[in-house]
Structure 1
Amino acid sequence: MSFVTFHRIARAAVLAAGLVAGGAMAQTAICYNCPTEWADWGTQLRAIKAKTGVTVPADNKNSGQALAQLVAEKASPVADVTYLGVTFAIQAQKDGVVEPYKPAAWNDIPAGLKDPAGNWFTIHSGTLGFMVNVDALKGKPIP
């Protein structure tokens, strides 16, 4: 997924979730796990404010903390939207703390990166790599 597509989907998802949360236009939308220094959230939060007037405060929870809070608040939800790692999003769906939502760019998201019903989707992916100092192994038979 391209950088531009990521930003378009991220803005749309946060914006739409915040705006549809109540009948009147919200002045603030709550996003769990959207720290300004991660995944360019700082730019996204400023863009949402500039485009809509809606303030989305930064939130420094991680995926586990965000999911725990969603579960704790299940009877009386506070968050309008949350940003979770995929495994946490799948668990959030199982826990019944998310509702289906398909952003305007839904069809641009590869099938393997979203729940068919829209309970979760990913807006970016990354690659995990391991580096090994073969000199430090000193010939030991370690793969």
Structure 2
Amino acid sequence: MKTVRFVLALLAPLLIAPWQSAKAADVICYNCPPEWADWASMLKAIKADLNYDIPHDNKNSGQALAQILAEKSNPVGDIGYFGVTFGMKAKAQDALEPYKPAKWEQVPTGLKDADGSWTTIHSGTLGLFVNKDALGGKPVPACWKDLLKPDYKGMVGYLDPSSAAVGYVGAVAINLALGGSEANFDPAIGFFKNLRKNDPIVPKQTSYARVVSGELPILLDYDFNAYRAK
């Protein structure tokens, strides 16, 4: 049975190397949206250096994992990019093929699978990605609890924690900041229940363009997306 190679990334995503037998336009990547982590430039560089055409794919981590598992007996994808926890789940279900890329040994032990089933390729710091021009004169939120203020009703967004890795990381970050732990997720659950009163926007895919356009003024996101917008 052909399994799939995947490389994951820290609190963001993982990646997997394509099969050596892959031909141009035949390399399939799950979850490499052009608006996320500068995938657009990366895919252009891969085309220039290796002559591989890799189509954009707008899945999130959960959707990528679901497709990998659905295709487990007859894999279609060559590359997967998703949050580390999703890589762990995929390995637990024997859906990945071990692969150790160049300089794999330089990746810290805690940021890769010992057998090479997944390897982190980058990390990000979670925070608030804010379009100040779209706040209508309101101050930039200074802490998580500020997002609960009525002033920000309809202006706050976060990706679905049950499906998107960045959404899950956001929930964990808020939980820890409010005094929670791995064994106690009540602070985060309470926070998101209260946030519902502010009509948050909860997309499943990356919403970089929506923040830049002002449609979504405040988004829980990684710093690398905010820096790119700045």
TM-score where L is the length of structure 2:
0.48
2:85 is aligned to 87
The one of 22, 27, 36 aligned to 2:24? 27
Aligned partner of 1:139 in structure 2 is: none
Alignment check: 8 A CA contact 1:19 1:26 kept: no
Q: Identify unmatched segments of 5+ residues in structure 2.
A: 1-8, 129-142, 150-177, 180-230
1:18-74 CA-partner distances (Å, limit 9, x unpaired): 242x3xx51121000001111111111000001121101110000100000011111
Instruction: Give 1:71's aligned residue.
Output: 69
- Work out the CA distance in 1 between the residues paired with 2:126 and 2:46: 30
- Report the counterpart of residue 48 of structure 1 in structure 2: 46
More strand by percentage: 2
In the alignment of these two chains, the number of paired residues is 121
RMSD of aligned Cα (Å): 2.3
Segments of structure 1 that go 5 or more residues without pairing to the other structure are 1-5, 137-141
TM-score (norm 1): 0.76
Deviation (angstroms), 1:108: 2.2
Aligned-pair identity (%): 52
Aligned: 1:57 with 2:55? yes
For residues 97-134 of structure 1, what are the alpha-carbon distances to aligned partners after superposition, in whole Å with 9 as ceiling and x for unaligned? 1110111021221111001110011111223358144x
The one of 85, 106, 110 aligned to 1:112: 110
The aligned runs of 1:4-23 (5 Å cut-off) are 17-20=17-20, 22=21
